[in-house]
Amino acid sequence: MRRIYLDNNATTQIATEVVEAMLPCFRESYGNASSVHWYGQEAKALMDKGRQQVATFLHAEPNEIVFTSGGTESDNLAIRGIVESVPGTGKHVITSQIEHHAVLHACQMLQKLGIKVTYAPVDAEGLVDPAEIEKSITPETVLISIMHSNNEIGTIQPVQEIGAIARARDIYFHTDAVQAAGKVPLDVEQMGVDLLSIAGHKFHAPKGVGALYIKKGTKIRPLLYGGAHERNRRAGTESIPHIVALGRAAELAMTEMENNTRRILELRDYCETEILRRVPHTFLNGSRTRRIPNTANIRFDQVESEALLINLDLAGVACSTGSACASGSIEPSHVLTALGLPPEQAFSSVRFSLSKFTTREEIDHVLNLLPEMVERLREKSPQHNKSFVMHAE
Ligand SMILES: Cc1ncc(COP(=O)(O)O)c(C=O)c1O
């Protein structure tokens, strides 16, 4: 059966160039980057190159890049690492209601330790109001953590404005840019961030590698204790194949970004416009304009999204209801709920996320399947309302 992958916010296909860059690290260049001999030096040179590539990608300096196992670790290191390194009691953190669970659950853990956390609301498009963040600041605020782009709806936050507020108040600012990396340009200086998380598998590198940008001079307490790797910020022998892959993926993303963005944006807009046109009672969730180019989160009223996903999967089409980490959850999406959607609408929303590998033909195939599939599901739906369907015709 023909298979179409439209779940690129969950993870992406590894680019051939990335696989090719990694392969020699398994059989030939397998040294430990901390060893003094030739093998070690070779591994260190590969690691240095990867670090330089990631630094260039983020407009940072190589010493400001710490390699991690992915987005979750980067977020945890940023949040716990900063909060635990700042002395004093009664500390306060500001984040938003629509963060990824890697941030939300790290913050909830801090609350158990007595740290106060403010979860800033978002508007109907999923945007945080910088004035709201500013109002939430107290003399105890040590960290603001607001994501760059949302994984479910793709909304891009006013990171630069929040960065300026944080800087003026001398408060650390972290952004989770896991969904932004490879999709929009990232410049840590311009955004005014002190910490920024990325994960390789969201932009055509393998799972199990990510990075945290830590601005020069920022004190951070590590999550892991052991050797002096990563300048004492992340102990453990570095995985050279993964680092090489992350560096190569970052380099590719930079050179291809302009072309890819144009193509993906065009395809995404085509896909979205046609779904909204061909399938009655469908709506876009989140912001139409302030959005990463590959994401469309669409509500199919009176359709259970899980049923739609299963039917799409049976037809060879992979997409999702939102966060891959929360799938199977019986709770409605915390992101869609924060936008103000009632549970039944949150439960009827599907995320389509494209990549550079998505083709117009694939989108056409999905567009041809969807109207009939949705109609069939609506007829079977317990909340089905005949006049609702008839009106749509
Ligand atoms: C916005 C965001 N942050 C963090 C993560 C966690 O990244 P990882 O799966 O690499 O741990 C994800 C993954 O879905 C994400 O979308």
Q: What residues contact 245, with CB distance under 8 A and at least 6 apart?
A: 14, 18, 19, 21, 22, 200, 205, 206, 209
Q: Say what the pLDDT of residue 329 is.
A: 59
From the list 154, 171, 153, the residue with the least C-alpha distance to 163 is: 171
pLDDT tens, position by position, 119-148: 999 999 999 999 999 999 999 999 999 999
CATH of the domain at 355: 3.90.1150.10
Q: What residues contact 364, with CB distance under 8 A and at least 6 apart?
A: none
Q: Say what the pLDDT of residue 392 is.
A: 38
Tell whether 270 and 188 lie within a shared domain: no
Residues within 6 Å of ligand 1 by CB = 70-72, 75, 100, 102, 147, 151, 176, 178-179, 199, 201, 210, 324
Burial class of residue 112 (count of CB atoms within 10 Å of its CB; 0-12, 13-18, 19+): exposed
Which of 253, 281, 311 is the endpoint of a domain? 253
Q: How far is the CA of 246 from the centre of ligand 1 (A)?
A: 15
The two beta strands, 210-214 and 195-199, are: antiparallel
Give φ, ψ of 104 to 5 degrees: -60, -45
Which of 224, 253, 282 is the endpoint of a domain? 253
Q: How far is the CA of 386 from the centre of ligand 1 (A)?
A: 40
State pTM to two decimals. 0.96
Tell whether 262 and 197 lie within a shared domain: no
**Distance spanning both ends of the chain, measured CA to CA:** 32
Tell whether 271 and 235 lie within a shared domain: no
Q: How many structural domains is the chain composed of?
A: 2
Q: Say what the pLDDT of residue 331 is.
A: 87
Tell whether 179 and 310 lie within a shared domain: no
The two beta strands, 349-353 and 295-300, are: antiparallel
Helix (H) and strand (E) counts in the chain: 15, 12
How far apart are the C-alpha atoms of 154 and 355, rounded to whole Å?
Answer: 14
Tell whether 263 and 240 lie within a shared domain: no
Mean pLDDT per 10-residue interval, the chain, length 393 residues: 96 98 97 97 98 98 98 98 94 98 98 97 98 98 98 98 98 98 98 98 98 98 96 96 98 97 98 98 97 98 95 97 60 96 95 98 98 95 57 37
Q: How far is the CA of 243 from the centre of ligand 1 (A)?
A: 18
Q: How far is the CA of 286 from the centre of ligand 1 (A)?
A: 19
Q: What residues contact 97, with CB distance under 8 A and at least 6 apart?
A: 119, 120, 121, 122, 334, 338
Tell whether 216 and 262 lie within a shared domain: no
Cβ neighbours of 342 (radius 10 Å): 10
Q: Say what the pLDDT of residue 380 is.
A: 83
Choose the catalytic residue: 25, 271, 319, 325.
325
Q: How far is the CA of 202 from the centre of ligand 1 (A)?
A: 8
Tell whether 146 and 266 lie within a shared domain: no
Tell whether 314 and 236 lie within a shared domain: no
Tell whether 200 and 348 lie within a shared domain: no
Q: Which domain holds residue 171?
A: 16-253
Q: How far is the CA of 371 from the centre of ligand 1 (A)?
A: 31
Which of 212, 237, 253 is the endpoint of a domain? 253
Q: Say what the pLDDT of residue 391 is.
A: 39
Q: Which of 74, 99, 100, 198 to mutate to test the pocket of ligand 1 (most atoms within 8 A of CB)?
A: 100
Ligand 1 atom closest to the Cα of residue 151 is: 16
Ligand 1 atom closest to the Cα of residue 71 is: 7
Tell whether 240 and 157 lie within a shared domain: yes
Q: Which of 104, 156, 159, 202 to mutate to test the pocket of ligand 1 (most atoms within 8 A of CB)?
A: 202
- Is 325 assigned a catalytic role? yes
Q: Which of 7, 12, 14, 72 to mutate to test the pocket of ligand 1 (most atoms within 8 A of CB)?
A: 72
Q: Say what the pLDDT of residue 330 is.
A: 74
Q: Say what the pLDDT of residue 383 is.
A: 62
CATH of the domain at 216: 3.40.640.10
Tell whether 112 and 261 lie within a shared domain: no
Cβ neighbours of 36 (radius 10 Å): 9
Q: How far is CA 315 from the centre of its chain?
A: 27
The two beta strands, 92-96 and 141-145, are: parallel
Sign of the CA dihedral with 161 first, then 167, 171, and 176 last: positive
pLDDT tens, position by position, 255-302: 999 999 999 999 999 999 999 999 999 999 999 999 999 999 999 999
Tell whether 50 and 154 lie within a shared domain: yes
Which protein residue's CA is at the shortest distance from atom 14 of ligand 1?
A: 10
